[in-house]
Amino acid sequence: MDDEFLRELSEPVRPEFAQALYAHLQAIPERRARRWLGPATAIVLVVMSIIACATPQIRIPILKAIETPLARVVGEPAMVIFRTSLNTEQRVPLEVKYMDIEQVREEIAFPLRLPAWLPAGLEPTQIALITPPQGKIGLLSMEWTTGDATPLRLDVWWPAGGIRMQVEETVEINGQPASFVREPGASGLISLTWVQQEEGAAYILTANPEYISKDALLQIAATMR
């Protein structure tokens, strides 16, 4: 495939800029890792994990952080800390696997619930999965895109023993009590959090209300059987 013409817009970096930026960077102090940083960060992450399960506005950046090398500050080798109940935790090696839905179903130990209905125009992207073999603990994150926006996200955490739900409005999803939360501030993201008791997994469905209304979000969740 002849695609050389598409490289026409590339241009070399001005040497003056490259040198000036390099000099500028050299003058910036590095945030050096300290010996206590690993354990301290681990403790912080445990606390954040508890909060994260409860508040979508915090949870989402954490998940995004886990998906990036930022989480490697936890230690060597890098670990993700799961709270498996209110009093216990488990460390899992940080290994984000990107896979399709069939691969996910083979990887985890319970039947994954996915929406049977979605508003038109949404396409699923790959699923990010963090779980050791046997799939008894882990989290997965999945998004649906319109092509130029990503208005819907599903996060599933298991086991759900450590979850403490933030309650703004209680609704019912598939016979389970669920918490509906609208994030304060400009983003105004809306989310539903509930625990499917049969498999002990927490489901968190987050949407951009510009694309998906509260009623539509409830409808989507209701089809996750």
Partner 1 sequence: MKLLTKDQNDDSPATPNEVVWAAVYAEYLPRVYNYFHYWVNDPMAAEDLTATVFEKAWRNRQRYQANLGAFSTWLFTLARNVARDYFRQPQREAPWEESPEHTTQDPIEEVLARRETHARLRVLLNRLAPREQELITLKYGAGLTNREIARLTRYSETNVGTILHRVVEQLRKQWEDHDGR
Give residues in contact with partner 1 (CB under 8 A).
Answer: 1-3, 5-15, 17-19, 21-22, 24-25, 28, 30-33, 68-70, 72-73, 76, 98, 100, 125-126, 128, 143, 145, 147-148
Rank residues 12 and 184 by Cβ distance to partner 1 and give the closer one: 12
Rank residues 11 and 215 by Cβ distance to partner 1 and give the closer one: 11
Q: Can you tell me the distance from the alpha carbon of 56 to that of 181, in angstroms, rounded to the nearest whole number? A: 8
Least distance between partner 1 and beta carbon 182 (Å): 21
Rank residues 76 and 106 by Cβ distance to partner 1 and give the closer one: 76
Sign of the dihedral through C-alpha 170, 160, 86, 190:
negative
Q: Can you tell me the distance from the alpha carbon of 56 to that of 163, in angstroms, rounded to the nearest whole number? A: 12
Rank residues 28 and 133 by Cβ distance to partner 1 and give the closer one: 28
Rank residues 98 and 117 by Cβ distance to partner 1 and give the closer one: 98
Whole-number Cα distances in Å, 162 to 4, 51, 76, 171, 212: 54, 10, 25, 21, 29
Rank residues 19 and 134 by Cβ distance to partner 1 and give the closer one: 19
Angle at 171 between CA 165 and CA 176, to 5 degrees: 70
Least distance between partner 1 and beta carbon 89 (Å): 22
Task: Identify the CA nearest to 146 among candidates 175, 178, 113, 123.
Answer: 123
Strands 176-182 and 190-196: antiparallel
